[in-house]
Amino acid sequence: MIADTVIDLVGTIGHAVLGTLMPARRTRLGPRAVKRPLSRYAYKSLKVDRHTYKATVSIDILTSAPGP
């Protein structure tokens, strides 16, 4: 008879999972951060007008001294 049979649905894996549950979640004190299209540090580099910005390129060519 099935009605008198005790079936353990949890089993070994279920006991292992229930024995090592994760701790309760911490309460969130501040709101979640909104994803920004620009970095929050980008305002420092955005103050430079790149259309009139003059770039300087410097090249140093080192040659060895002629041999004796």
Write the pLDDT tens digit of every residue in 28-50: 888 877 777 777 666 666 666 66
Confidence of residue 67 (pLDDT cuts 50, 70, 90): low
DSSP per-residue letters across the chain: --TT----SSHHHHHHHHHTPPPPPPPP-SPPPPP-SS-TTTHHHHTS-TTSPPP--------PPPP-
Would you say residue 16 has pLDDT above 80? Answer: yes
- CA-nearest of 56, 54, 38 to 46 is 38
Rounded CA-CA distance 31/34 in Å is: 9
pLDDT of residue 14: 81
- How large is the greatest C-alpha to C-alpha distance in the chain, in angstroms? 108
